[in-house]
Structure 1
C-alpha cells in the first residue's frame, strides 16, 4: 500500500444523541446512524454540525423485531451496505449484568425509500436472530470457545460482543468483526456469505467462510469499512472492556498481511471512535463518528444521562480526516 499521512481536518457536533454506533453513508451530504441506547435511526448532515435532518430524523425500528414484545433496547452496533441494501447488526451479547436478552440478537436490513416524497426506512425481509446458534454449530469456530463467551457479559474478558460489519470488495460477503473475544490477542473477522438469504428466507441458516485473525496489538474491532478509492480497509480498534484505549489501522484485506497502525495528527484526546464512513466523491477524506455517551459535559453528567434531547450539550462528534501521500 502507498504511504499516507493522516490528519484531522475539522470537528463537527451532531445534536440529539450521544451514543453513536453503527452508521452508513446515504449520499454525499448525509449519513444514517444508530444510537445504541434506543431503537431509533437518525439522519444527519455529514458536512456541518446540527440536529437530525428535519422530516427524516429516523424511524422507530420496533416493528422489525418479532422477539422484542417489551420494546427493549436491541443494542445496534454495526452497519454496512452491499448491493443497495443497508445491513444492521446488534451486539449479540448479553447485557452488562450478564443476563441473556434475546432481543440483542438481531441481523436486519432496510433501504431508504423516497416513494411518497417523505424519506423513510423500509425493511427488507425480516430480522434474523439465530447467528449465535449458527456460530456454535460451526466446527471451525470451536477454538474460540464461543459457547463459553456467550455466557459472559460483553465487556468481561472473553465475553461475546460484535461491533464491526463491512462488505468485502467484491460484494460477495459481509465481514463480521468481534470486539470480544480476542483469542491469543488476535481480533476475529468472520465472513458471512449469504446475508440476503438470511433476511429473506424463513428457514435459512448462516453460511460462514473461514475466520480471519488480525493482529491489532491486543485490541478488538469496533468498526471497519472498505475504502474503495484507496483499496484498503480502515479499522477502528478498541479494548474489549470499554476502556479508553483506541487505535486506527489500515489493512489490505489479505489474510497474510498484518494491519498497519495509523497515527493521526490533531487527534482529540477524548475522542472515542465508533464508526468510519467513506463518501463517493471524497478520495482523500473520510469521517469518523465518536461514541460520546460517557463524556461528561453538563456539570459532570455523562452525555447519555442528559435527559433533555434538545440540550445543547447532548451531542456526539465526528472528525473529518484528511489523507496526503507521503
Structure 2
C-alpha cells in the first residue's frame, strides 16, 4: 500500500470545558460515503476506511478531491471486513472490524479481523506496510462481557500511554457503554497463536448511548457517543479513563452528522470528526466514485 503525499483544512468548532460552537458548516470529502475509521499518518494526511469495502483512502487535510485508494488485501483474503475503528501507536496503526456475530454462512468470520499496518516514509511517499492480523479477539471479548451473540459490535479503538488499546462497543449493557482494555495488541500481531489479554471493562454513563469512536487527546479521551440502533442522536464526551465518570460536552456542531471516526490532528490542538454518510443514494459498493462524499468537521480543544 503506497501513499503519495500532498495536503486540506476542515471546519472550525471551538470547544471549551463543557461546550462547543460551530463557526462554519461541514467540509465534504469525495471518494467514499461510509467513513467508518480514520487516522492521521503525518501532520497533513489521514487515511480513511469504509465499512463496506477493504479499501483505505488517503486524504490531504482540506483537499476535497477523491484521495488516493490503497487496496487492502490482508492474508485472510476477506472482501468486506466491516472495518470500524483505527488507532495509531507510534508508527503502528491498528485497525479493527466490528466483530459482529450477525453474519452467517461463508460470511460468518469476515467481521472478526484485528490487523496492523506500519507507517514507512521513503523518498516523497509514505507507505503503509502490512504487519499482520489476529482473528481470535471475538472469543476473548465474549469471555469478558458474556456471550451476547446478537449484540457484539465494536466501533471504537484508542491507544493509551502504556501501549494498551481501548476497545469501545456500540452496544450497551444495562444502559451503560463499555470500554475494554486490550493489553497485548503488538504481541498477538507478531504471534497470532497467542491469546489476547483483556482487562476489566470500564462502564460509562453516556446517557444510554454506546461508543461510536474514541481518541486519546493529551491526558484524557474524547468519545463520540451514539445510538445502539441506526436511528437516534449523537453526543460528545470527555473521559479521564479508568473508573472516572464521562463528562458530556455540548457540541451543536455535530448537527445532522452521523459521526463514526474521531481523530486528533497532529500539532494543531484540534480533533476531526468524520460522518458515515452512507444511504440509499450513496453506497461505497454501487455509487459512482465521483458521486460519493462524506462530511468532516474540526474541533478546537479549549483549556
For the criterion TM > 0.5, the same-fold answer is yes
Task: Tell me if 1:264 matches 2:251.
Answer: yes
- 2:231, 2:103 → 1: CA distance? 14
- Which residue does the alignment assign to 2:32? 17
Return the offset for 1:241.
Answer: 1.3
User: In the alignment, which of 229, 239, 243 is matched to residue 231 of structure 2?
Assistant: 243
Q: Is 1:88 the counterpart of 2:95 in the alignment?
A: yes
In structure 1, what is the equivalent of residue 276 of structure 2?
291
Indicate whether 1:6 and 2:20 are aligned: yes
Deviations 1:230-281 (A, max 9, x none): x3211011111121321111112241x211111124443x211111111222
1:93-146 Cα shifts (integer Å, max 9, x gaps): 03468986202110100023233654332011x21000112234x4xx2xx43x
Query: Deviation string for 1:275-312 (max 9, x for gaps)?
Result: 111122212x2211000002x6xxxx24557621112x
Q: Give unpaired runs (5+ residues) of structure 2.
A: 1-15
Unaligned runs of 5+ in 1: 153-158
Q: Tell me how large the CA RMSD over aligned residues is.
A: 2.2
TM-score (norm 1): 0.81
1: CA distance, partners of 2:106 / 2:228: 18
- 1:73 corresponds in structure 2 to 80
How many pairs align?
287
- Cα 1:246–1:5, aligned 2, differ >3 Å: closer, same or farther? closer
1:48-197 equivalent positions in 2, closer than 5 A: 48-52=63-67, 57-62=68-73, 64-66=74-76, 68=77, 71-95=78-102, 101-115=108-122, 117-124=124-131, 126-136=132-142, 138=143, 141=144, 144-145=145-146, 147=147, 149-150=148-149, 152=150, 159-168=151-160, 170-180=161-171, 182-197=172-187
User: In structure 2, how many angstroms separate the alpha carbons of the residues matched to 1:110 and 1:16?
Assistant: 22
Flag the structure with higher strand content: 2
What is the TM-score of this pair, normalised by structure 2? Answer: 0.87
- Radius of gyration: which is bigger? 1
Partner Cα distance (1:203, 1:96) in 2: 24
Q: Which residue in 1 is equivalent to 2:13?
A: none
8 Å CA contact 1:185, 1:219 repeated in 2:
yes
1:307 equivalent in structure 2: 287
Q: Distance in 2 between matches of 1:49 and 1:116?
A: 25
